[in-house]
């Protein structure tokens, strides 16, 4: 396995999933599309499951499996379109700029969690992993030339994009539904306090304020202690245990393909 696949296989990266979603919906176009075409309150796991499956498939699936997943994503995206009106921005799930932002949030959240747990990658490896993560966007409608040229260019893009985010009331409602689902299995309800803590704790401070999410110095300490304890235990696990989520999602994907054939 390469360093990139080693990184991408780490199950702990899922801890950044909620953060990535909140960053995505803080973009007005993405937020409008999600608010009108997703149901986090009653189906809290759907977007995360679909996104995680897509991300694993782009890295670990065969060419045929990857093509099937991309087609499935494109089918799901076709109805996610609106010309906009006085209160709602125009949006399209096929918009390359929006897809670039979504891919960027997945990469930046994943690497942020990885480096919190294992420490920073050396510059050469960090650059290599960054370049290969472009597949998250280029497998869909993002041109390879649109992916920022290198890590320095990505950081400029990221900082500019984050500073331009405007959190709408729709995005706040989706965030509330994501963090406080009305319908959820018992196991999800049991872990939601930790999910909320990690999601809010990993967000940039300015977005916590924009989303009106509760946070203070005691929450910051609790986050540091809990995340640190989880990281300590996680690092001690064998690699084949740490990659269980990847194998689980790929197995589900392949099982679903068999049933539809």
User: CA-CA distance, 238 to 82, in Å (whole number)?
Assistant: 47
The C-alpha angle with vertex 124 and arms to 112 and 19, in degrees rounded to 5, equals 10
User: CA-CA distance, 9 to 4, in Å (whole number)?
Assistant: 9
In this prediction, residue 258 carries a pLDDT of 66
Task: For residue range 211-254, list pLDDT tens digits in order.
Answer: 999 999 999 999 999 999 999 999 999 999 999 999 999 999 99
In this prediction, residue 49 carries a pLDDT of 86
Under 8 Å between Cβ of 158 and 104: yes
How many separate domains does the chain show? 1
Domain of 133, in residue numbers: 3-260
- Half-sphere exposure of residue 189: CA atoms within 13 angstroms, side-chain side: 7
Task: For residue range 92-106, list pLDDT tens digits in order.
Answer: 878 899 999 999 999
Beta bridge partners of 81: 92
The closest alpha carbon to 167, from 177, 175, 159, belongs to 175
The C-alpha angle with vertex 177 and arms to 176 and 179, in degrees rounded to 5, equals 65
The closest alpha carbon to 97, from 184, 160, 40, belongs to 160
Mean pLDDT of 203-209: 96
Task: For residue range 15-26, list pLDDT tens digits in order.
Answer: 999 999 999 999
Task: For residue range 107-161, list pLDDT tens digits in order.
Answer: 999 999 999 999 999 999 999 999 999 999 999 899 999 999 999 999 999 999 9
Beta bridge partners of 92: 81
List phi, psi (to 5°) of 81.
-155, 145
Does the reported pTM lie above 0.85? yes
Contacts of 215 (CB under 8 A, 6+ apart): 200, 201, 205, 208
Query: Band of the pLDDT at 41, cuts 50, 70, 90?
Result: low
Per-residue buried b or exposed e for 198-234, using 16+ beta carbons within 10 Å of the residue's own CB:
bbbbbbeeebbebbebebeeebeeebeeebeeebeeb
Contacts of 169 (CB under 8 A, 6+ apart): none
Mean pLDDT of 173-185: 87
Beta bridge partners of 82: 91
The C-alpha angle with vertex 198 and arms to 112 and 48, in degrees rounded to 5, equals 80
SS3 annotation, 14-72: HHHHHHHHHHHHHCHHHHHHHHHHCCCCCCCCHHHHHHHHHHHHHHHCCHHHHHHHHHH
Query: Where is mean pLDDT largest: 33-42, 184-193, 243-252?
Result: 243-252
In this prediction, residue 34 carries a pLDDT of 83
């Amino acid at each position: 396995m390469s360093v990139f696949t080693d990184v991408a296989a780490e199950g702990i990266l899922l801890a950044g999933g909620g953060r990535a979603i909140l960053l995505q919906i803080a973009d007005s176009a993405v937020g409008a599309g999600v608010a009108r075409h997703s149901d986090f309150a009653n189906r809290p796991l759907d977007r995360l499951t679909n996104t995680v499956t897509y991300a694993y498939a782009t890295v670990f699936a065969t060419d045929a499996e990857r093509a099937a997943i991309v087609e499935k994503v494109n089918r799901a995206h076709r109805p996610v379109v609106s010309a906009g009106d006085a209160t709602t921005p125009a949006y399209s799930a096929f918009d390359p700029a929006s897809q670039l932002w979504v891919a960027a949030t997945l990469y930046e959240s994943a690497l942020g969690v990885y480096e919190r747990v294992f420490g920073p990658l050396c510059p050469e490896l960090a650059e290599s992993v960054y370049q290969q993560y472009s597949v998250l966007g280029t497998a869909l409608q993002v041109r390879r030339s649109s992916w920022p040229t290198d890590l320095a260019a990505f950081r400029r893009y990221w900082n500019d994009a984050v500073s331009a985010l405007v959190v709408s009331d729709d995005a706040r409602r989706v965030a509330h539904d994501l963090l406080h689902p009305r319908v959820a299995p018992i196991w999800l309800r049991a872990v939601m306090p930790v999910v909320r803590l990690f999601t809010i704790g990993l967000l940039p401070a300015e977005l916590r304020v924009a989303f009106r999410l509760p946070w203070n110095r005691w929450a910051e300490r609790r986050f540091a202690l809990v995340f640190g304890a989880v990281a300590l235990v996680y690092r001690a696990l064998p690699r084949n245990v740490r990659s269980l989520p990847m194998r689980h999602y790929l197995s589900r994907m392949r099982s679903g393909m068999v049933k539809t054939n």
